[in-house]
Structure 1
Amino acid sequence: MEASAVDHLAPERKKAQFDVQAMKIAWAGSKNAFEVANRMAHIVASDPVFRKDNRTMLGRKELFKNTLKKSAHAWKRINELRLTEEEASMFRIFIDEPGYGDLHWGMFVPAIKGQGTEEQQKKWLPLAYKMQIIGCYAQTELGHGSNVQGLETTATFDPKMDEFVIHSPTLTSSKWWPGGLGKVSTHAVVYARLIIDGKDYGINGFIVQLRSLDDHSPLPGIVVGDIGMKFGNGAYNTMDNGVLQFDHVRIPRNQMLMRVSQVTKEGKYVQSDVPRQLLYGTMVYVRQTIVSDASKALSRAVCIAVRYSCVRRQFGSQDGSPETQVIDYKTQQSRLFPLLASAYAFRFVGQWLKWLYNDVTERLRANDFSTLPEAHACTAGLKSLTTSVTATR
């Protein structure tokens, strides 16, 4: 005979001294956002393709294949259900698979939007939106992470051919870690040192095709592959983080992202009035999403810990009554409650950063760059703070 299920959390929930429904809406940001999240969560949870309970039992190859399967199915469902942009974004969040379009939608597309000219956007964005090309963001190198000014990859202009020559001059100049690069991406926004007539003009972005659109094989002069296993089988092993090297790869001049600066056919470097910090605008977008992601990760961990602490009982019984709930021990509360508060704080500051990023974007469209430095500073600092707290606690 099966034992009847007991809801050990019900008494704890009844003790809440605040409106739980109102808190849910506050967490979501608005009533509409809460309703959208509920609908998308139900759709994902009811679809067996998106199951996650077997992830820890899968090997690296199976994890990656499983993620690709989910990505293809998600794209199909988004189109079938005719989801709005907000709904599709929430849909992807609930799928919760590292690697699901992270670099294509999160960095490749925003980089072209922010740094490409109107003509370049008209050419590349429709292809990206329809997934006719799949892009990644090739900035980080083996020898240089976030130190963009230290990048070694070069893009040397050849005025005779009206082309740039993309080259990896050293081992440490190898692009290293970009998600989607190892196996999936056909194109990349590559950051390299612009060299004209022997003079270094600093870092610029270039759209480079990496693989054939016919058979997906690497194009001549390109060495690309997966970097292999990462720590933690259930986490980023679902993603094909890659390594990339260039051996004098030629691209047309118009594949340099030219909103911030341009190179004429004659080899003249022309700097626009747009601040060079805009080159790193994509990173501002990514950092604000990372802060939100840190909030989600911390809130899930704290939720599990708090619930378990309510269910788990240990010691304290002197007369045969139930033992003391672990949550009632002051030492347990002192560890969990500050993290619970931090999860809410990170959530709300993540919402503020999203507002800040959208405000900066609107200002940029009007050629107002006054708030760009603040966005850089806030997103960089809060990314470091929130991820450190989440990872170490």
Structure 2
Amino acid sequence: MEMSSLTQERKSAQFDVEAMKIVWEGSPEQVQLTQRIGQLVANDAVFRKDNRVSQGRLELFKNTLRKAAHAWSIIQSLHLTEAEASKLRSFIDEPAYTDLHWGMFIPAIKGQGTDEQQQKWLPLAYRQTIIGCYAQTELGHGSNVQGLETTATFDPSTDEFIVNTPTLTATKWWPGGLGKVSTHAIVYARLITDGKDYGVHAFIMQIRSLEDHHPLPGVIVADIGVKFGNGGYNTMDNGLLRFDNVRIPRDNLLMRVASVTRHGKYVPSGVPRQLGYGAMVFVRKSIVMDASNYLSRAVTIAVRYSAVRRQFGTQQGKPEIQVIDYMTQQSRLFPLLATAYAYRFLGVWMSWLYSDVMARLERGDFSTLPEVHACTAGLKSITTSTTADGIEECRKLCGGHGYLCASGLPELYAAYVPACTYEGDNVILLLQVARFLMKTLSLLGSGKKPSGTAAYLGNAADLLAKNCQVMKERDWINPDILQHAFEARSARLTVKCATQIAAASNQEAGFSEFSSELVDASRAHCELIVVTRFMEALKKEISGRSVMKQLQTLCYVYALSLVTARAGDFLVTGYLSSKQLDLAKGQLRSLFRELRPNAVALVDSFNHSDYYLGSTLGRFDGNVYENLYNDALKDPMNASPVTEGYEEYIRPVLKQQLKLPNSRL
């Protein structure tokens, strides 16, 4: 019966799935790349991952090292391009030191090193004759980079910096790849020369011998221990690092922004610090793409299993109802399906934004930076929070079986959830957005027009004055009405915060007092950006039978599910009436009915292989129960019919032969 469920679902699809795959991937070439590299990884026994959750930490970590080395030999022997190599690493689907080496260490040298420094270090890093990580966060400080305590003090008598960990809280803590693998690290430390502290700068430091891998003198380095989940992020050697007056050459300071002369004089290079923002935009763009990827995997599992699973509602002789047919299931699942597509279009737009910012920076144009910094901070925050919550929701949507590691969902969640904290804590990032919004409003009086994603605030007077025009359900699927609704919500919450802060004893006191309201306003601003980008993407030419129609339905589901989920915002600002909210809910139910026949085909369009999903519940063939049963029997716990410990601990209980302790109470 299960086999036929998904086959039937696919027959009911009303659009061209192959064309939708191209929309999701970005081009036919990308679809081919995904399939080619995906197959290469899935067919290689070294990359097997179904046994990951039953491995102890040491075995698990050693296996990760084996996979990384095997991947590197494939990359070299097949002469893979950078794009192919990156795809290969992502399909191995296991957090590893290579993520930090390629994703943080190399970009930091590119972004902050001078041309000479890049010529020295990059060839070594590209060949992996050195392996690097990114040591910024400390035991006592993460988000507040300016509060870092590690020091690098210049000694002109030897032309060296002396790097030191002055307190316990100055211990570097969390960097991936640091604990056991990296030979080098980009270390963030306070630059002190001539008795003056010039704040936090980046240094490249060797931490282990290139001969025997032992830590260098004065360096203490170790792994920080087991983390949340079974496999999850436990494949990564997140580490701790301390320095006891370790000396490094002066030119190990990454000097693109500032240098220190032979005599200890601090010299800014004239290159604006903002140039470093390019790397940050790049990382945040990648995080948003990852969010769409992880969420799409969870949604694929939940949609397929919801179509296979049947419960209740049976009439004599008829099968039970597919779980996906219940409105309670659709109202939780379909908005997440729409969100995965929304975040994919957002990621594509952020790639354009990154190119635009880099081109402007090269020309010395920093005008868009405050707005780009704020919007990328906020988008990182909302996409990762929503995705982490969405994966957990998908687990619940799979009922009891979702709790099994075989479902793939607990592992997916454990591997994903750190994204809510790394590269900026999500609440702190939203407070950064709030500062930008408050500043933008304060400049309106001086005639400065906001631009980019904040341009709508220039129209604040109209957005405050004009309430929602919806009269009937169908009005809600008018892009202009939706756009106005999200702009009005954001503008009204932002203006209300500004008014509250203005009435406070001083600005900082106001910020502190109304920080929860500021977070709400920032979230509204960011959700407006996502809705706008989704609608903008659909103005372009998109080919394939009924592909555009499906995307429009998904776009409306995304926007209206936010209207209903954030109803409080829309009602409290007086923009919507409760009647209009009911109309939105009614329209959303109609959209769910439109989506229902296409749900399985829409997750097929994500093009995730069974290997990549790693889920018995999300299998393409829908053969769930037989495989759950077989997987259970393969578990190491079932290696023998009588368990270890029977003779010692179970038999004495059953036979009443326990030795009683000879102690008296």
TM-score of the aligned structures, taking structure 1 as reference length = 0.95
In 1: Cα distance, 2:188 partner to 2:373 partner:
18
Q: Aligned runs of 1:233-244 on 2, under 5 Å?
A: 233-244=230-241
Counterpart selection for 2:281 from 281, 284, 306: 284
Q: Deviations over 1:270-303 (max 9, x none)?
A: 1123222334544433222222212111111111
Q: Aligned runs of 1:1-393 on 2, under 5 Å?
A: 6-279=3-276, 281-393=278-390
**Deviation, structure 1 residue 374:** 3.8
In 2: Cα distance, 1:355 partner to 1:168 partner:
41
Contact conserved, 2:275 with 2:361, CA < 8 A, in 1? no
Based on CA coordinates, which of the two structures has the bigger radius of gyration? 2
Query: Secondary structure, in 3 states, of the residue corresponding to 2:217?
Result: coil
**Deviation, structure 1 residue 98:** 0.7
**Deviation, structure 1 residue 323:** 0.7
**Deviation, structure 1 residue 310:** 0.2
In 2: Cα distance, 1:280 partner to 1:208 partner:
23
Contact conserved, 2:22 with 2:28, CA < 8 A, in 1? yes
Instruction: Calculate the aligned-residue CA RMSD, in Å.
Output: 1.6
Deviates more, 1:317-326 or 1:117-126: 317-326
Higher strand residue share: 1
In 1: Cα distance, 2:227 partner to 2:200 partner:
29
Q: Deviations over 1:233-282 (max 9, x none)?
A: 22100000000111111111101000011111111111123222334544
CA change 1:109–1:375 in 2 (3 A) is: farther
Query: Secondary structure, in 3 states, of the residue corresponding to 1:137?
Result: strand
Query: Secondary structure, in 3 states, of the residue corresponding to 1:179?
Result: coil
AA aligned opposite 1:38:
Q
Query: Secondary structure, in 3 states, of the residue corresponding to 1:114?
Result: helix
TM-score of the aligned structures, taking structure 2 as reference length = 0.57
Contact conserved, 2:148 with 2:189, CA < 8 A, in 1? yes
Contact conserved, 2:175 with 2:238, CA < 8 A, in 1? yes
The higher relative CO (CA closer than 8 Å, separation ≥ 6) is in: 2
Deviates more, 1:89-98 or 1:350-359: 350-359
Contact conserved, 2:278 with 2:357, CA < 8 A, in 1? no
Would you identify which runs of 4 or more consecutive aligned residues in structure 1 move more than 6 Å? none
Unaligned runs of 5+ in 2: 391-665
In 2: Cα distance, 1:225 partner to 1:279 partner:
29
In 1: Cα distance, 2:43 partner to 2:186 partner:
36
Contact conserved, 1:111 with 1:281, CA < 8 A, in 2? no
In 1: Cα distance, 2:275 partner to 2:167 partner:
27
Higher helix residue share: 2
**Deviation, structure 1 residue 370:** 4.1
In 1: Cα distance, 2:368 partner to 2:126 partner:
29
Query: Secondary structure, in 3 states, of the residue corresponding to 2:210?
Result: coil
**Deviation, structure 1 residue 383:** 1.4
Q: Deviations over 1:201-244 (max 9, x none)?
A: 11110000000101111111111100010011221000000001
**Deviation, structure 1 residue 29:** 1.1
Give the length in aligned residue pairs.
390
Correspondence for 2:621? none
Unaligned runs of 5+ in 1: none
Q: Deviations over 1:153-182 (max 9, x none)?
A: 111111121111111111111111000000
**Deviation, structure 1 residue 355:** 2.9
**Deviation, structure 1 residue 6:** 2.4
CA change 1:267–1:260 in 2 (3 A) is: same
Query: Secondary structure, in 3 states, of the residue corresponding to 1:141?
Result: coil
In 2: Cα distance, 1:374 partner to 1:127 partner:
36
Contact conserved, 1:205 with 1:279, CA < 8 A, in 2? no
In 2: Cα distance, 1:377 partner to 1:129 partner:
32
